[in-house]
Amino acid sequence: MRIMEQIACKKCESEYDLAPVDVSNWHLPPHDTTCQVCGSVLKGWDNHHENILIMTKRGLVASPA
């Protein structure tokens, strides 16, 4: 059974269920897991796991900087 982690974006308050998938033998380019609404980094890159996000609550669109 896969364990889902609940995570929220600190910038726009979008909420996600996050499921890590083992990718130890894959050759993926380094990348962070980012918010689908505002692009903020939710989790840093990990070469052993790819994170699958399922949005559970859409937050406010971040105001332009």
Boundaries of every domain in the chain: 5-57
| pLDDT value, residue 12 | 92
Residue burial 35-62, b: 16+ Cβ < 10 Å; e: rest: bebbeeebbeeeeeebbebeeeeebeeb
Average pLDDT over the chain reads: 87
Which residues does residue 60 pair with via DSSP β-bridges, in sequence order?
none
In the block, which residue shows the tokens 């689908």? 36
pTM above 0.85, yes or no: no
Quick: pLDDT tens for 6-24.
999 999 999 999 999 888 8
